[in-house]
Structure 1
Amino acid sequence: MNAEKMKKTFRVVGLKGEGAFTDFNTEVPKLARQFLERLHEIEAEQGPEIALYEPKRASDHLEGIYYVGIMVGESFTNVPVGMEYIELEEEYVTAKGKIHHIGKLHSELVQWMDDRGYNRKSDSYIVETYHPLENGEEDVAVYLPIKMQNS
């Protein structure tokens, strides 16, 4: 796994979902399909598909917020009805891999982050971007927000 630390800005237009963390694996793809049916409504330069996840902060934190959408190239004001525009700018640790290994990718990235002394920022969204490949496979890039390090 090739991981790195970076500062990145994400500009996202998408749909908001909310529910039990245990249901994210079925509810997020369902909302993503609904979003893709409305993709034509977004009049902007479009980048990869993206999902934002509220991190689970404790064992009693059972429900969270998530967004599914598309990255846009610039600040966006013509947001379709029922959608939201979100702009995130954070320090992240990131790695990319095959989508069917996403759980392993998350685990390895957390270990990489811990090994280097970075601390998770629990009040910022975890970001995943999705990148289709020619062979029908899909890569995913995972971005875990970290606390700024004092120099």
Structure 2
Amino acid sequence: MEIKQIKKNFKVVGMKNSGVFADFGSEVPKFAQQFLRRANEIKNSSQTEIALYEPKRNDNHIKGQYYVGLIVNGTLNEVPTGMEYIETTQDYVNIRGKISDIGKLHKELLTWADEQGFQRDLESYIVETYHQNENNEEDVDIYLPILL
């Protein structure tokens, strides 16, 4: 698996929610399913699913915010009720792999970033994008924000 440093721009229409970090693994997919029932309301959608997560800053940081959404092509002037348009450009370290390996992928990315001397940007969202692969399984691209 290739890990790299990249500057990336994301344009997203999504819905915001919050919860306990420990529950994100089950809570975020459920919220994403609710969101996807309304996906047809979004203009200029790329059909690529995305989630943006507030990073856990320390052991006392119990609850966090997140967005689930779709990447859009171009800036939107009209956003469906209850949704938000988010645009972010950030420096990241990135890895891609099977969604079933997501915990391992996050760990590998954190270890690599630390070994390379990158400092995490705890004020910017962690981004995950989701893609069907040729085996009809789902891959995830993880983007961990860093400071340069």
Q: Distance in 1 between matches of 2:40 and 2:147?
A: 36
Length-normalised TM-score, structure 1 = 0.95
Q: Distance in 1 between matches of 2:45 and 2:68?
A: 17
Match of 1:110 in 2: 110
RMSD: 0.9
Q: Distance in 2 between matches of 1:75 and 1:35?
A: 20
Question: How far does residue 57 in structure 1 lie from its aligned partner after superposition?
Answer: 0.2
Residue by residue over 1:82-109, the C-alpha shift from the partner in whole angstroms, topping out at 9 and shown as x without a partner, is 0011111100000100000000000001
Q: Secondary structure at the match of 2:120?
A: coil
Whether the aligned pair in 2 keeps the contact of 1:97 and 1:105 (CA below 8 Å) is yes
Match of 2:19 in 1: 19
1:85 equivalent to 2:64? Answer no
Matches within 5 A, 1:32-111: 32-111=32-111
Match of 1:138 in 2: 138
Report sequence identity in percent: 55
Length-normalised TM-score, structure 2 = 0.97
Which residue identity is paired with 1:129? T
Residue by residue over 1:49-107, the C-alpha shift from the partner in whole angstroms, topping out at 9 and shown as x without a partner, is 00000000011100000000000111112100000111111000001000000000000
Whether the aligned pair in 2 keeps the contact of 1:14 and 1:70 (CA below 8 Å) is yes
Distance 1:80 1:19, change over 3 A: same
Unaligned runs of 5+ in 2: none
How many residues align structurally?
Answer: 148
Whether the aligned pair in 2 keeps the contact of 1:47 and 1:73 (CA below 8 Å) is no
Q: Secondary structure at the match of 2:61?
A: coil
Q: Distance in 1 between matches of 2:98 and 2:20?
A: 25
Whether the aligned pair in 1 keeps the contact of 2:45 and 2:70 (CA below 8 Å) is no
Unaligned runs of 5+ in 1: none
Whether the aligned pair in 2 keeps the contact of 1:98 and 1:138 (CA below 8 Å) is yes
Q: Distance in 2 between matches of 1:134 and 1:119?
A: 35
